[in-house]
Amino acid sequence: MSIYENLNPQQKEAVCQTEGPLLILAGAGSGKTRVLTHRIAYLIEEKGVNPWNIMAITFTNKAAQEMKERVDQIVGFGSESVWVTTFHSTCVRILRRYIDRIGFDNRFTIYDADDQKSLMKDICKRLQIDTKLYKERALLAQISHAKDQLVSPEEFELNSQGDYSKMRVAEVYKEYQTQLRRNNALDFDDLIMKTVELFQSCPEVLESYQERFRYIMVDEYQDTNLAQFQFVSLLASKYQNLCVVGDDDQSIYKFRGANIENILGFERVFSNTKVIRLEQNYRSTKNILQAANEVIQNNAQRKPKTLWTDNEEGNKVHFRHFLSGFEEAEYVVGDIAQKHREGICSYRDCAVLYRTNAQSRLFEEKFLMANIPYRLVGGVNFYARKEIKDLLSYLKTVDNAKDDLAVRRIINIPKRGIGATTLLRVQEYATEQDISFYDALKEAEKIPKLGRAAVKIQPFVTMIQSLRSEQRSFSVSELLDDVIERTGYVQDLIAEDTDESRARIENIDELITKATTYDKESENPTLGGFLEEVALVADIDTVDPNQDHVLLMTLHSAKGLEFSQVYLAGMEDGIFPSYMTIGSEDPGDMEEERRLCYVGITRAMKDLTMTSVQQRMIRGQAQYNKVSRFIYELPREVVDMGHKIEKKEIKTEVPRNNTYAQMREAFRAKAFQPRQFEVKKADKLSYEVGDTVRHVKFGVGIVKNIVEGGKDYEVTVDFDQVGVKKMFASFAKLKKI
């Protein structure tokens, strides 16, 4: 049986359409990865295309790896020649070969977000920028936006004439790029921008890659920005065999520069475009899909399509409204615990999604109390941890000594007694001589007023020179081991002997494992290659699908993933959609939020629970929000509304300051009588054996047994936190969740 017989008619059509521009509008869960991999196989096996001439671009390393593995399984021999990679990895490979054509050294360093912040801090000091007026993060965001639009510092300055605030940003942008060039470094935005610059200034380089990549496929095309669009357009301009796959309903990265017009206007840019819609969903139940379709149809700026499925009708979408965020988290954690106990799902089948990272705290606390394993996506990235950054900075210095940022980070790690004054004099000398910071360190004895401090610098320079000489003969893991041994980094942590130091040692062990794996699995392992791989890793790439833990993440992080059980928390106006969106004059902002809601709904395969609260603590203040407008857009026939929570009336008393009034009240009051406790047996309990209940003190538990006595019910509950407890129903006041 042919591998193409398993495809539905639309998928088969997309696979067989190989020539000319092709737009595949692939709805959520419609099997787009399957289409792309089978299309690669079809080009090689049926059309006789050389694998060398095929390129597939994705947005995450995880997606690229998955596609590679699938192509290997289908095609077998020759599949390794297909270039399956991310935008950034593609550009790095091109720049490593040809960036010297536009004035950079081929051994450039890639700066991550932390490196960018450190550099921006230095620049603000140097230019005497008031960081209260011009936040470092905001400056970096403006520079990033300019690069996404392919706007150079000179162009930015020209466009800023007459606007003092923009002129200051232009000044910072110019200095930022100058320092990057001095350090022989690029940030993530540079990787795309410099590749486009290379193609435009060196037509022969562009032509060589046009000949190489005659068939180009781009996944998640709705998330591309102008720079990425320009890069793809230049590559595909000769043969026009460009296939883009995307879903305009899942365009959610406007804040990162993504331009939805790239997919909506594709047919205008590339004439004779063939459009194929993939509308059959293989992921979700009918009810979940109906909910998603109804919500997204409220958007005007979209290509018309309606997802359908042959899957079962499934459970209704659950909506639950609570009094507080505390109760919301308690319910979600309790529900996951119950489903796990009943064998409905594993922990790894569950995901809690929210609009902002700040919403994770209550869930984390509840998961810890319930002893449920969880993983927070979007917390401190492994490679951003201090000990990891320190050791990587040593490796960066060995690889590219021009990287001033890396050198300055490690000059005093471990402590070498080199003071701030010494470092300032070294920096001044480097600036005067127009050399790198490391080259200035090598000439320490020539620096005026350095005196004895030059002696302290010498051992550091000697060590780095020695490590650089080892670079060619040592593997990456051996070099890393040597750095750890020579610096005494781990020895210092062992001597510290705290929980924190032990955790840091574990992280270092993990870095050694990563280096060893890289040495074994890479075809041509180099130190530069290792640093490149580490720099390009995203937080979502580190998620291990085999580990049994609940995932907590923002809706943006959840893109491209799927889970059996999904909990969409914080469905309130002001949270989701945000106040900023509600107050925006641009209707496109609300449409972007609705697309984000659509992405959240379509992550669910079998069960979707959406929650909101009456009162939420934001920045220490109680905030009262309406239920999200997106909830009202759901079709009522597919929503299970659950129990209603009645508002409790708060009785307010007028303070009595009047002495006469107080005396009168005292005389009116009845004489003290001991409180008479009377137990009234309820006719019926609101819960049964097997139900999840909540106790005001003991928390969430499962009812194990109910014994009817003469005066009251004796209830046995297995609580998540305190174990099995027996209690009388009238005193326990258990509430069914």
Q: Is 595 a catalytic residue?
A: no
Domain boundaries 317-377+544-640, CATH class:
alpha beta
The pLDDT-based confidence of 560 (bands split at 50, 70, 90) is confident
Class of domain 109-183: mainly alpha
Tell me the average pLDDT across 311-327: 95
- pLDDT at position 678: 45
Q: Is 250 a catalytic residue?
A: yes
Active site residue 171: no
CA distance 148 to 35: 29
Mean pLDDT of all residues in 16-26? 95
Query: In the CATH scheme, what is the code of domain 382-541?
Result: 1.10.486.10
Mean per-residue pLDDT over the chain, rounded = 88
Does residue 222 sit in helix, strand or coil? helix
What token pair was written down for 353?
A: 């999604």
Contact 574, 354 (CB under 8 A): no
Q: Is 409 part of the annotated catalytic residue set?
A: no
Q: What share of the chain is helix, strand, coil (3-state, %, to 5)?
A: 50, 15, 35
Q: Could you say which of 136, 220, 330, 720 is catalytic?
A: 220
Whether residue 220 lies in the annotated active site: yes
Architecture in CATH of 9-98+193-280 = 3-Layer(aba) Sandwich (3.40)
pLDDT average, residue stretch 67-84: 84
Residue 643 has pLDDT above 70, yes or no: no
Closest CA to 283 of 311, 263, 246: 311
Is residue 528 pLDDT above 70, yes or no? yes
Q: Give this prediction's pTM.
A: 0.75
| Amino acid letter, 648 | K
Nearest to 147 by CA among 167, 173, 113: 173
Average pLDDT, stretch 112-128? 91
What is the reported pLDDT for 523? Answer: 80
Q: Which residues are known binding-site members? A: 26-33
Residue 644: pLDDT over 90: no
State the pLDDT at residue 413: 87
| Token pair belonging to 68 | 């590679």
Tell me: the pLDDT tens digits for 379-401?
A: 666 777 889 999 999 999 999 88
List, as residue ranges, the binding site for ATP. Answer: 26-33
The catalytically annotated residue of 115, 136, 190, 219 is 219
CA 385 distance to own-chain centroid: 17
pLDDT at 310: 96
Among candidate residues 250, 285, 554, 611, the one labeled active-site is: 250
Report d(CA 581, CA 560) in Å as an integer.
24
**pLDDT, tens digit, 9 for 90 and up, residues 436-475:** 999 999 998 888 888 788 888 999 999 999 999 988 889 9
Question: Is the pLDDT reported for residue 351 higher than 60?
Answer: yes
Check if 219 is active-site.
Answer: yes
Using a pLDDT cut of 70, give the percent of the chain over it: 93
Catalytic residue among 17, 18, 33, 131: 33
Is 28 in contact with 252 (CB distance < 8 Å)?
Answer: no
pLDDT at 680: 54
User: Catalytic pick from 320, 366, 389, 603?
Assistant: 603
Tell me the C-alpha distance between 411 and 397, whole Å: 10
Q: How far is CA 233 from CA 217, 240, 248, 270, 528, in A?
A: 12, 9, 19, 9, 29
C-alpha 251/C-alpha 592 separation (Å) is 7
What pLDDT does 176 receive? 96
The closest of 628, 635, 615 to 577, measured between CA atoms, is: 628
Listed range (178-187, 365-374, 521-530) with the worst mean pLDDT: 521-530
Q: CA 643, CA 621: separation in Å to the nearest integer? A: 27
pLDDT of residue 5: 84
- The predicted structure's pLDDT at residue 647: 35
- At 657 the pLDDT is 46
User: Regarding beta strands 621-624 and 604-618, do their DSSP bridges make them parallel or antiparallel, or are they unpaired?
Assistant: antiparallel
Confidence of residue 259 (pLDDT cuts 50, 70, 90): very high
Buried b (16+ CB within 10 A) or exposed e, 571-604: bbbbbbbeeebeeeeeeebbbbbbbbbbbbbbbb
Residues 649-675 have pLDDT tens digits of: 333 333 444 444 444 444 444 444 444
Given 11, 32, 34, 594, the catalytic residue: 32
Evaluate the omega torsion of the peptide bond into residue 414 and state whether it is cis, within 30 degrees of 0: yes
